[in-house]
Amino acid sequence: MITRRKIGVLAKAAVSIISAAVMFLSNFVPANAAMTGESVQEQIYTFMKTECGVTNDAAIAGLLGCIDINSSFNPKGTVQNMQSGTVMYGFGLWTGTRLNNLKTFCKNNKLDWQSTEGQLRFIKNEWDTVFPNVKRVMQGNPNDPAFKFEDSADGAYSFAVYLTLQYVKYTINDYAETSAKDTYYPMVKQFASAAPAQTQAQAPVANAAAPAPATNAAAPAPATNAAAPAPAQAQAPAANTAAPAQTQAPAANADAGTEQQVYNFLKQNMGINNNAAIAGVMANIEQDSNFDPKAHITDSYGDRYGLCLWYGTRLENLQTYCKHYNLDWQSTDGQLKFMAYEWNTYFKNVNKVFHNTTSSQDYNFADDANGADQFGAFFAIQYVRHEDNLLSCSRGDRAKDYTYQRVLSTFAGK
């Protein structure tokens, strides 16, 4: 008798066989022409266009910004992590398992692991195997429309931020973003204007994809397990919202309690004018952590931390973001800035709803107690990501019955 369980076992076995075949066939790089371009930057541009299927010039500029800050375009470059003492190598600051994978890949394909070609082909290999989410974003086909960055200088900035946090996983400062926008986007446009027609992107049928072991240390991007689906029309937030690369401390009163600090940040830094929206956020934070940025619980999701009880990949992103901007990841300041970053990148639908700029009237909630109820439930489902509908409704009730009046009487007048 064929049971559901047997079908599941057979399906897994089939997937394993197919995966093994793909891994074997992708273990070697076919003969390819040498890197094309007068400079390393142009070689990277040409490789991304012709072999990685990247058509957005801003995406290539974002990658160039990251490679510049990582290695100054020197494939033999090294950087030492001053905290751990670990030495990182090459364009991608590879270390540990990923460094071993680079060396193994290049050895199998008779490439120098400290060469431009070897490292570019390994980047493609990682995108094909370990980082398919990054590959989709770079090719302009993300699962979440919030990651479809435009072909512009600002888009180059966004790509550099994304690659820093989701592929490189380490950086020294925000130079990658600014150089991607100010230096490399204009440079890439010059390459594009001089390139012959045949360099238009085509992803080769069989390319250099040596499989990375399942133990690879890199974490997938949050788009695969955390981000609320953004509406197709999602666009960058208005200028009064917090930018992902904000590096200055907010103007919130440092002596105020955490509740007042949260209110000030949402109102002043993120430009939310609807007090019901603010109440919806604050009701969720109260229920999650009681406004304690060092809150820690363990439940079916695992270990969760902070004002919004981040966990898994999103917790790693919080820690990486705060390290990148010299913030304490267990501070109210660091967590609020990270929340603003998530709203501007992975949760643009949340950002639009809380700024009352959504095109759907169904989510254009009013600034009253009933609106606070709706904002509270929406935030629980779409940002905090609670699957328990009753719990989400209870947060809406809290926002309606208590938090909205508290916002008006205690915080709004300060």
> 258-411, which class in CATH?
mainly alpha
Tokens of 312: 């898994």
Query: How is residue 90 annotated by DSSP?
Result: T
pLDDT reported for residue 172:
47
Q: Which of 91, 35, 46, 74 is nearest to 188 (CA)?
A: 46
pLDDT at 206 over 70: no
Average pLDDT, the chain: 77
User: H or E segment at 264?
Assistant: helix 258-264
User: Looking at residue 25, what is its pLDDT?
Assistant: 41
- The reported pTM is 0.50
For the record, the structure tokens of 173 come out as 């400062």
369 and 276 Cβ atoms separated by less than 8 Å:
yes
Segment among 10-14, 311-315, 328-332 with least mean pLDDT: 10-14
- Least confidently predicted of 57-61, 81-85, 186-190: 81-85
Of the spans 140-144, 192-196, 263-267, which averages the highest pLDDT?
263-267
Q: Report the distance separating Cα 252 and Cα 51, nearest Å.
A: 48
Residue 292: other Cβ atoms inside 10 A: 14
Question: Any idea what DSSP says for residue 50?
Answer: H
The fold of 39-207 is: Lysozyme (1.10.530)
In the predicted structure, residue 29 carries a pLDDT above the cut 90: no
pLDDT at 335: 96
pLDDT in tens, 93-103: 898 899 999 99
pLDDT tens digits for range 110-139: 999 999 999 999 999 999 998 888 999 999
Evaluate the CA torsion angle 331, 334, 336, 342 in order and state its sign: negative
User: Is there a contact between 185 and 58 (Cβ–Cβ < 8 Å)?
Assistant: yes
Which residue spans of the chain are classified as CATH 1.10.530.10?
258-411
Mean pLDDT (whole number) for 56-61: 96
Least confident stretch, 167-176, 210-219, 292-301, 371-380: 210-219
Q: Which residues pair with 297 in a beta bridge?
A: 304
Confidence of residue 203 (pLDDT cuts 50, 70, 90): very low
